[in-house]
Amino acid sequence: MTKPLLAFFLFVGLTFISCKESSSNPNQAIQKTSDENSKAHLIDSLVVYQTENLIIKRLSNHVYEHISCLNTNDFGKVDCNGMLVVNENKGVLFDTPIDNKSSLELINFVTNELKCEITAIIPTHFHQDCVGGIEEFEEHNIPTYATKQTIELLKKKGQNFSKPINEFENSLSLNIGNKKVYAEYFGEGHTKDNIIGYFPEDNAIFGGCLIKRVGASKGNLEDANTNKWSETVRKIKLKYPEAKIVIPGHGKWGGTELFDYTIELFEVK
C-alpha cells in the first residue's frame, strides 16, 4: 500500500471516530439537561403562590409550607419556613412570615384562594423569623398561642404585641375541623423554648429551627444549647420514626433524614 493511500485511510478513520464522538456527546448533554429540567419542574410544581415577598408550596392534601426572606447581618438573606395546616375550611399556622407585609399576603391567599379561615398561629420559638408577622394576624383577630417560656423570652427581649398571647405549658392540641394539630416541647436545642408542630393525618412535622436541612451549617447559636440539641431531636425521632414530611426552619424539607442529620451535626463527641 502506498504512503498517500495509507494516509487517506488514516484520515477517513479519524474523521469517523471524531464524528461518532461528537454525535454522541450532544445526546448525553440533552439527556442531562432534560433530567435537570424534570427535577426543576417537579420542585416548581409544588409552588402555588409566589411573589418577591412570599412563596407558598403545597406539600400534601392538608399541609402547606410558606417561605419568606429575612435579611441578617451574619448570614445575609435567609429563607425562613413555616407550616400551614388546613382542613374543612379552617387553618392553623406554625410561625408567621418574617414581617407584616408577607403575613398579609399569606392571610389573603388562605382566605381568597383556599377559602379557609386561619384560627390560630403558633410561634415555635421567640426569634424574629417566628413572630415577625404577629401584629398583622392580630389585626385580623387571629389569636396567637405560645408556651410560657416563649412568652417570657419575648417579654425579656422587649417584644410586645397589641393583644395578649394565649399561654400553654409543654403541649397543645387544636381542632381543625374534624382533625387535630399538635404543638409539643421536647427539650432545648436552637433555643430553650423551641417546640415542633405535628399533624397526624399527613404525618407531617414542622421542626422549626430545631431541625436542620440536610447539608446545613449549625447556624445561629446565640441562644442555643448545643449540648442538649441532639438529645432533643432524638426524642422527636423516637416518637415519630415514620414521619413523611419534615419541614426545617430554613431550607429544603424532607423526611426523617433531617432528624438524622441534625442529630449527627450536634452530637457531643
Question: Which residues have a catalytic role annotated?
Answer: 125, 127, 129, 190, 209, 212, 220, 250
The answer to whether the CB of 210 falls within 8 A of the CB of 231 is no
Residue with cell 414581617: 99
187: left (phi > 0), else alpha (psi -120 to 50), else beta?
left
- Please tell me what DSSP assigns to residue 200: G
Residue 208 φ then ψ, to 5°? 60, -155
User: Based on C-alpha coordinates, what's the Rg of the chain?
Assistant: 25
Distance CA 232, CA 198 (A): 16
93-125 as b/e: b if 16+ CB within 10 A: bbbbbbbbebbbbbbebbeeebebebebbbbbb
Three-class DSSP category at 108: helix
